[in-house]
Amino acid sequence: MPILARYLLKAATGPFLFALGVLTGLLMVNTVARRIEDLAGKGLPASVIGEVFLLSLPHVLALTLPMAVLVAVLFAFSALAADNEITALKASGVNLARLSVPLMVAAIGLAGVMLWFNDQLLPDTNHRLKTLLIDVSRKSPTLQLEERAINPISSGDYRSKYYLQAAEIDPATNQLLDVIIWDMSDPGELRTIYADSGRMAFNQERTDLFLTLFDGHIHDVQDAEPGRFQRVFFERQVIRMQGVGDMLERSTDTSRGEREMGFALLGQEADRRRLELHEIRAEAGRLAAAALDLTLAGDAGAPTGAEVRRASDDAAAGAQGPPLRVPGRLPAAQ
């Protein structure tokens, strides 16, 4: 490689790496600020949070890398002009067009890398990030109860709802004192549970919460029988609240949007949409022709939608029998 080419590439490499790091860092800070609300307070392990930000990095690089190239080229040539190196090269008989050749070759190589990056890596990471964020949004928040406050406890699918209040909560032993639970899991029944004490525990998969209550009673009122009130006393009662744990369930969603498709998938999607548009236009043409034929053939007003569809189906099937007859209308003119 000529000395001049190495000198120009060296002059542009430093500003390129610096601009890429700064711009990527700034946009990643913005990404963290936008994602922190969705990730905080859900008891996610550090590996999942790190995966979210790692999958966000390709999208950020797709934006910052072209900007870093622009900054590097402007800085390199501005430095050459400020140090009068361009004037010295011209005085030495160097063609100024040669100054852009090394950077143009590097730009073409970088463009090829970005073409592969945007076609292969970026769509897959966008799809994985979307799937992971959906899984995180479906995950129930970490169970954090406050003393002397009504704490809502809902399942991951938001069907079973409970409200719990305790005078004292021991986070070390999960012991509860003076417990009140409002069970609203059944829309047609309102159940209130009172207990002197209780203990919380998750199952082994940490998806269901088990409350073991001691020395209490249950008030039960049903909407179907508002005048009937039931009160049951117990010494020990176990309540299972499904889907309120802190385990993240990973899904395998295969549906992809436009930002999650490479060039091949986008081409297939475009062909599918063209075929769909062609079928819609053909169907619209058949319905319009059938409606016109029915209108011209009849004298009892405009045809109904069912009659138009029936006539369109007969026309599409290529029926060779007698002309279509609609009850109360004249046969189609031959």
Other C-beta atoms within 10 Å of 63: how many?
Answer: 12
Q: One-letter amino acid identity for 97?
A: A
Cβ–Cβ < 8 Å for 236, 214: yes
> Which element (helix H / strand E) includes 174?
none
Euclidean distance between CA atoms 308 and 332, whole angstroms: 14
Task: Note the pTM of the prediction, 2 decimals.
Answer: 0.55
At 301 the pLDDT is: 53
**Residues 62, 8: Cα–Cα separation, whole Å:** 24
Can you give the pLDDT at residue 43? Answer: 65
pLDDT at 319: 44
Residue 182: partners with Cβ closer than 8 Å, 6 or more residues away: 162, 163, 164, 190, 191, 192, 193
Nearest CA to 4 among 113, 82, 80?
Answer: 80
Give the residues of the chain that fall short of pLDDT 50: 142, 158, 299-300, 319-334
pLDDT computed for residue 166 by the predictor: 94
Give the span between the Cα atoms of 107 and 128, in whole angstroms: 29
Q: Tokens representing 82? A: 């400020």
